Homo-oligomer: A and B are copies of this chain.
Amino acid sequence: MAKSTEKQSDDREALKSALKTERDTDLRLALADLHPADIADVLESIPLDQREKVFAQIDNALIGEVLVEVSEGVRLNLLENLDSQSLIAAAKTLDTDDVADLIPDLPDEVIAEMLFAMDKQDRLRLDSVLSYPEDTAGGLMNVDTITVRNNITLEVVHRYLRRRGELPENTNKLFVVDRDDSLLGTILIGDLLVNDPESRVSERMDAEPVSFEAMTSAREVAAAFERYNLVSAPVVDDKGKLIGRITVDDVVDVILEEAEHSVLAPAGLKEDEDLFAPVRSSIRSRAVWLGVNLVTAVIASWVIGLFEDTLRSVIALAVLMPIVASMGGNAGTQTLTVVIRGLALGVITDSNARRVLIKELLISVMNSMIWAVAVAIIAIIWYRMPGLGLVIALAMSVNLLVAALAGVSIPIVVRKIGIDPALASGVMLTTITDVVGFFVFLGLASLILI
């Protein structure tokens, strides 16, 4: 019978209840039913002491895969409990690209021992993956390509595959190369099945497959996989030689990591935050973020401080001023979010950025017209001062315009100078909308009301 997703989540629950009985045999029994990814999942959601217990009972053959599947924070935590012998054994069960992913988290002496224990071919393969940065096609690739020549018949390919035995995971195509390993094309394994066995590879292959140069960014690779619905694709070096292949499962991981980053970075959080790590490891990054925010808040307060006399004579200004700053911050964050997204997806380019700016400015003018009037009415009813209504309406309109301008330009500029827009833009924007909001509101009040 088929195994539905409900069944799988039952298995995970079974493991969690086995944890409660505190008996190792129960644990081992519950683990036996689980895929490494499921074990990884359970490890992510249980506290440290239980995590060690579960990890100690995992079958040696699965440890490598479990390490690959957990998030970086949890992995670092698990590696502390593993001696180098077990690590080397675990690495042997893995594909080259997965070993390459683990390497940055391993202590140097383990890496050395691991390389020493490998056979020459595996070491060369690992070397070629490691020679490219992690976030490039070369860093993502695996080296388990199956290559064929273009002048043989499908029948011959079929016989070769049968002699070779099991295919690597996610093999949906073979790679056609010449004697120098230059990529000539790809052929779907489905095409081997449905076409005349006497026809030649050259007649059936796709001579213009989507391929990636090793230094292509992981982000571009992911976009191409999504766009062209790929399952696997060849990676070539700068001379067009086949050096590996990328499979969709690794691309899905890239997409999820990017998604994670785009949600966490605006709050100053890192992807490797382990929910159950000791508190101390979370404190530093959080504290730094609050420190940056404190600096911007103090700048805003300093601006308010310039107008102490004005505030003293019209205390209503102190009551209403947060409204102006907050509306600017919110409107600006909307623009910012749209623009950061557009940049990440490549929809916003230098050539159309002006158009986006004009649109956002138009939206902010329209929104000003609606909400500045509303705010003015609230202020007038509350304090019975028509002048105050005028001041807050004007200040809010100016701040919404500035917010739109900042929301479009900050991410574009920040990206140009090589800073991650998702991380830095939000803080910069709210600093601007706070400062401008307070300054214009209190400044206009000094001119008009006093």
Q: Does A363 contact B (CB under 8 A)?
A: yes
Instruction: Say whether A420 faces chain B, with CB atoms less than 8 Å apart.
Output: no
Determine whether the beta carbon of B190 is less than 8 Å from that of A171.
yes
Give chain B nearest CB distance to A29 CB in angstroms.
Answer: 18
Give the residue of B258, B320, B348 whose beta carbon is less than 8 angstroms from that of A45.
B348
Q: Tell me whether A210 is interfacial, beta carbon within 8 Å.
A: yes
The answer to whether A153 has its CB under 8 Å from any CB of chain B is no
A267 touches B334 (CB 8 A): yes
Whether A347 and B275, one on each chain, are in contact in the complex, defined by CB atoms closer than 8 angstroms, is yes
- Which residues of chain B are within 8 angstroms of A221 by Cβ–Cβ distance? 5
Contact call B337/A264, Cβ cutoff below 8 A: yes
Residue contact A300 to B322, C-beta cutoff 8 Å = yes
Contact A326 B338 (CB under 8 A): no
Q: Is the CB of B293 within 8 A of A326?
A: yes
Contacting B at CB under 8 A, from A191-213, are 192-195, 207-213
Is A297 a contact partner of B269 (Cβ separation < 8 A)? no
Shortest C-beta distance, A196 to chain B (Å), equals: 8
A268 within 8 A of B: yes
Question: Are A2 and B236 also in contact (CB < 8 A) when A166-B194, A172-B172, A371-B291 are?
Answer: yes
Tally of A interface residues using CB under 8 Å: 139
Tell me if A231 is interfacial: C-beta within 8 Å of chain B. yes
Q: Is A447 an interface residue (CB 8 A)?
A: no
When the two chains form the complex, which single residue of B226, B268, B315 contacts A253, counting CB atoms closer than 8 Å? B226
Q: How far is the CA of A282 from the CA of B375 in the complex (A)?
A: 22
CB-nearest residue of chain B to A278: B359
What distance in Å separates the Cβ of A160 from its nearest Cβ neighbour in chain B? 10
Q: Which residues does chain B contribute within 8 Å of A315, judged by CB atoms?
A: 308, 311-312, 318
A352 in contact with B2 (CB, 8 Å): no
Q: Return the chain B residue nearest A365 by Cβ.
A: B279
The CA-CA distance from A259 to B38 in the complex, in Å, is 22
Assuming the contacts A1-B207, A211-B3, A330-B289, asked whether A348 and B35 have C-beta atoms less than 8 A apart, the reply is no
List CB contacts (< 8 Å) of A250-289 with chain B: 251-253, 255-256, 258-260, 262-264, 266-269, 273, 275-276, 279, 282-283, 286-287, 289
Tell me whether A107 is interfacial, beta carbon within 8 Å.
no
Q: In the complex, A52→B212 CA distance in Å?
A: 32
What is A's interface to B at a CB cutoff of 8 Å? 1-6, 8, 16, 35, 37-38, 41, 44-47, 69, 158, 161-162, 164-167, 169-172, 183-185, 188-190, 192-195, 207-213, 216, 220-221, 224-229, 231, 234, 236, 240, 247-249, 251-253, 255-256, 258-260, 262-264, 266-269, 273, 275-276, 279, 282-283, 286-287, 289-291, 293-294, 296-298, 300-301, 304-305, 308, 311-312, 315, 318-320, 322-323, 325-327, 330-331, 333-334, 336-338, 340-342, 346-349, 351-352, 355-356, 359, 362-363, 366-367, 370-371, 374-375, 378, 382, 434, 438
Closest 10 CB pairs of A and B: A259-B259, A229-B249, A318-B318, A2-B211, A37-B227, A267-B337, A167-B190, A297-B323, A297-B326, A3-B208
